[in-house]
Amino acid sequence: MNQAILPSLPSSRRCTYLTLSRTGVFTFRWNLICDGTHHQPKLSLKTKDYLVALQLASSIALKIRELVNPTIEDIRSVYAEFKGIEKKEGVLLSQIDIASHLTDLSPKSLVEYKSCWNSFIQSLEGRKISVVGLSQTLIEKWKDNQTCSPTTLKKKLRLLSSCFNKAGIAHDPKWFTFIVKDKPAKARRAVTKEELDKVLAATEGYKAKAEGHWKYYLPRIASLTGCRLNEICQLYVGDVRLGENPVLSINDNMPDKRLKNSSSAREIPISKELMSLLMPLIASRSDSERLFNDLPYNQSNGYNGTPSKYFSKLIKGFGADDITFHSIRHYAVTKLFNEGVKEELIGSLVGHSIGKLTTGKVYMSGFNYKVKLEAIEKLSTCHV
């Protein structure tokens, strides 16, 4: 505060981030140092009333203090939010119906876009951020909360940026630039037979439990089919199709189900061991019930969030940091390969896309039930 300008104000009411212009209007300023340079970005509060100015300045200062290591751009975003409150009537990001801006998308794409948008809104943790308050800091916080692979994160950034474009929300494309970390992610491998036995032994006690029985069933179904975690978690009773040729149907025929790609949709013959495993799960239950109805659903991760965390912690307890639940899928594929099963047939069973091979393109879906059953039986090693 310039004491020569405001000599009558007591020191207890002075505010170091308030200054007066020559016309008597109060201006807010924030001091920060970026790259060794001192900056004082300013914002006119458009009032000559000190108490009103103090109230506005305090509100702005509190918002800035919520930021971690704010940049000049972040400060100006807070200023822009202040200036746009009346202009845009304080439209909050959380109030935007993103689906209304995505009407040109297919149902599958709509789910991906909405999932990405909702995860961003959740990262705001209830904070009332208006459309003009969007900043790189918020994007970075959202990125830090993502636990997916670098490839998936890159896709999510593209989807989120597209959401802002479709909703007409001003933003800087540079905020969505993906930078690969210096330390590369560790390569994942297949579990060994010994490691798989440890997982099965550690989950044996959950077989008869009413809740959490998925801990028993998920790794066993994965080892007998090579299915991905979410493919198993989202199964319905009706996906276990009995008859002359029993199959486990992997599909996305329900709103809460999704597949990695078009090649993921498939029917896997049910081996004798898999049949023994599944029968207690489907007995006296309706086709419309989920096999594991105690697994919570998440827009971003489907049903695999809870089991993924559980098995990651369980496997980490074995002292192995280069395997995950997905390594059981690698185990199944490796075992089939070592048993002499053709690559194209393996792809057909586990939902791989073998687009580069002529045989894969032409014959992938041509294997009959008997051939597939004989192959899938090779995964049976008395895990029930």
Instruction: For the chain, give every domain's residue range.
Output: 11-65, 93-176, 193-379
Confidence of residue 64 (pLDDT cuts 50, 70, 90): confident
pLDDT score at 150? 83
> Which of 198-202, 286-290, 295-299, 344-348 bottoms out in mean pLDDT, i.e. has the lowest?
295-299
Task: Please give the C-alpha separations between residue 98 and each of 101, 141, 149, 221, 338, in angstroms, as whole numbers.
Answer: 5, 20, 25, 37, 49
144 burial via Cβ count (<10 Å: 0-12, 13-18, 19+) = exposed
CATH of 193-379, one of 3.40.50.460, 1.10.443.10, 1.20.5.510, 1.10.1740.10: 1.10.443.10
- Nearest Cα to 121, choosing from 150, 149, 145, 148? 145
What phi and psi values does residue 166 have, to the nearest 5 degrees?
-65, -30
Of 211 and 301, the one with more pLDDT: 211
Q: Six-digit token pair at 305? A: 């969030």
Q: pLDDT of 107-127, one tens digit each? A: 878 888 998 999 999 998 888
pLDDT score at 14? 42
Of 3 and 271, the one with more pLDDT: 271
Q: Six-digit token pair at 372? A: 């597939």
pTM recorded for the entire structure = 0.57
Instruction: Name the maximum alpha-carbon separation found in the chain.
Output: 95
Confidence of residue 308 (pLDDT cuts 50, 70, 90): very high
Residue keyed to tokens 């809460």: 256
Instruction: Give the length of the chain.
Output: 384
Residue keyed to tokens 């995505």: 102
